[in-house]
C-alpha cells in the first residue's frame, strides 16, 4: 500500500537526516517504526505526509509510493485528500476550537456535509468520552482526551492510511492501553493501514504485524513483530529485558555492556 524506496531527506540543503530508508506498509495492518530520539522517525512520517516542505526539508533521493502513485514532493493538503492522515506527536489539537470544531476542521476534504455528520458520529462511537466534551474548548481536555481527539480528527478525512506519531507520549499506562486497543479495533473494522512511530516498543510490537528499527537515519533491522520481539538486540535495547527474559537489573548494566550487533 505504502512503499518507501531508499529515500534520503535533507534539511536546509545541508543536514542529511535520512540516509536511505526503505519500508513497506501493508493494507489493513499496523506497521511500527521504532527508534531512539533523533533517529529520524518523525522525519520519515513528514516525508510521507508532505510536511517536510514546511520545515525546509526535502526528499533528495529515492521515492515514496502510495497505492502505486508517486507521492514524494506532493503538497500536504493534497495528500490528505488522497487518503493519508497524520496524527502529530504531542497531539496538537486546535486548542481554542471546541472538540466538535476540531473534528469539523479535520473533515475539511469532505465535500458533503452529511459525511461530516456521519464522521463525527463515528468518532464518538470509537471515543465515547469525546461526546461528553463535545462543546468544550479542546485546550482544556486531559492529555488522553486530546490524544483521542487527535486520532478522531485524523479519522474525519476518511483516510486509507494513518501516520501515528507517538500516541503514548506523556500518557498513563492504562490510557495508552485503551488508545492502542481502539487503534487496533479501527484497523480491523475500517481496513485502515497504520504506520506507528513509537518509543514504547513493548506496546507497539504488541499491536503491530511488522516492524522496522531505525537508527541514525538508517533502517537497521526489520521483521515481523513476532521475530522482532524474539530478537536479542531488541529485547536488550528496546524492551529492557536480558537474555533470560527477566527484567534487567541495574547491577548487571554496570558490569557488562552489551554491544549492538548492527552497525549504525
Partner 1 sequence: MGEDLDFFFSLVVSGASIGMLYSLIALGFVLVYKATEALNFAQGEFVMLAGFVAAALLTAKGMPVVLALIATIAIMIGFSFGLERVVLRPLLGRPIVAVIMATIGLAAILRGLPPITFGGDTRTVPLPIGDNAFSLGPATIAPIQLYGVIVTLLFLAGFTWFFMKSRKGVAMRAVAENQQVAMAMGINVERYFAIAWAMAGIASAVSGIIWGNMLGVDVQLALVGLKVFPVVILGGLDSIPGAVVGGLIIGIVESVASAYIDPYVGGGTKDFVPYLLMIAALMFKPYGLFGKRKIERV
For binding to partner 1 (CB under 8 A), which residues are involved?
Answer: 49, 51, 54, 76-77, 80-81, 85-86, 88, 92, 94-97, 101-102, 104-109, 113, 116, 137, 139-140, 153, 157
CB of 148 to partner 1, least distance (A): 16
CB of 139 to partner 1, least distance (A): 3
Give alpha helix (H) positions in 142-224.
143-155, 173-190, 201-207
Given the complex with partner 1, which of 121 and 252 has the nearer CB atom? Answer: 121
- Distance separating alpha carbons of residues 129 and 119, to the nearest angstrom: 16
CB of 13 to partner 1, least distance (A): 16
| Buried b / exposed e along 90-120 (16+ C-beta atoms within 10 A) | ebebbeebbbbebbbebbebbeeeeebeebb
- Distance separating alpha carbons of residues 217 and 234, to the nearest angstrom: 18
Query: Per the structure block, which three cell numbers stand in for 74?
Result: 506532493
The residue to which cell 513483530 is assigned:
225
Given the complex with partner 1, which of 137 and 264 has the nearer CB atom? Answer: 137
Given the complex with partner 1, which of 161 and 225 has the nearer CB atom? Answer: 161
Given the complex with partner 1, which of 76 and 182 has the nearer CB atom? Answer: 76
- Distance separating alpha carbons of residues 110 and 138, to the nearest angstrom: 22
CB of 17 to partner 1, least distance (A): 17
Give alpha helix (H) positions in the chain.
41-49, 76-82, 99-106, 113-126, 128-132, 143-155, 173-190, 201-207, 225-230, 232-237, 250-255
Given the complex with partner 1, which of 140 and 262 has the nearer CB atom? Answer: 140
**Residue 89 DSSP symbol:** T
Contact yes or no for 103/123 (Cβ under 8 A):
yes
CB of 85 to partner 1, least distance (A): 7
Given the complex with partner 1, which of 194 and 213 has the nearer CB atom? Answer: 194
Among 100, 87, 84, 49, residue whose Cα is nearest residue 168 = 87
CB of 102 to partner 1, least distance (A): 8
Amino acid at each position: 500500500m505504502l512503499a518507501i524506496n531508499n529515500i534520503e531527506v535533507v534539511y536546509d540543503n545541508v543536514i542529511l537526516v535520512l540516509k536511505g530508508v526503505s519500508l513497506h506498509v501493508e493494507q489493513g495492518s499496523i506497521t511500527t517504526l521504532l527508534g531512539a530520539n533523533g533517529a529520524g522517525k518523525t522525519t520519515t512520517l513528514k516525508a510521507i505526509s508532505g510536511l517536510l516542505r514546511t520545515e525546509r526539508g526535502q526528499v533528495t533521493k529515492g521515492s515514496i509510493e502510495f497505492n502505486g502513485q508517486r507521492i514524494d514532493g506532493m503538497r500536504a493538503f493534497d495528500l490528505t485528500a488522497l487518503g493519508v492522515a497524520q496524527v502529530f506527536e504531542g497531539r496538537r489539537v486546535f486548542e481554542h476550537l471546541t472538540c466538535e470544531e476540531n473534528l469539523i476542521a479535520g473533515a475539511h476534504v469532505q465535500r458533503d456535509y452529511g459525511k461530516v455528520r456521519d464522521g463525527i458520529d463515528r468518532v464518538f462511537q470509537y471515543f465515547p468520552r469525546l461526546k461528553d466534551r463535545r462543546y468544550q474548548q479542546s485546550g482544556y481536555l486531559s492529555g488522553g482526551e486530546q490524544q483521542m481527539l487527535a486520532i478522531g480528527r485524523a479519522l474525519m478525512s476518511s483516510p486509507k492510511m494513518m501516520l501515528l506519531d507517538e500516541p503514548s507520549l506523556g500518557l498513563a499506562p492504562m490510557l495508552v492501553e485503551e488508545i492502542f486497543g481502539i487503534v487496533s479495533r479501527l484497523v480491523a473494522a475500517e481496513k485502515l493501514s497504520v504506520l506507528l512511530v513509537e518509543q514504547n516498543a513493548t506496546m507497539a510490537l504488541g499491536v503491530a504485524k511488522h516492524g522496522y528499527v531505525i537508527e541514525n537515519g538508517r533502517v537497521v533491522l526489520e521483521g515481523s513483530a513476532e521475530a522482532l520481539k524474539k530478537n536479542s538486540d531488541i529485547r536488550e535495547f528496546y524492551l529492557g529485558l536480558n537474555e533470560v527474559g527477566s527484567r534487567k537489573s541495574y547491577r548487571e548494566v554496570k558490569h557488562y555492556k552489551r554491544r549492538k550487533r548492527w552497525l549504525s
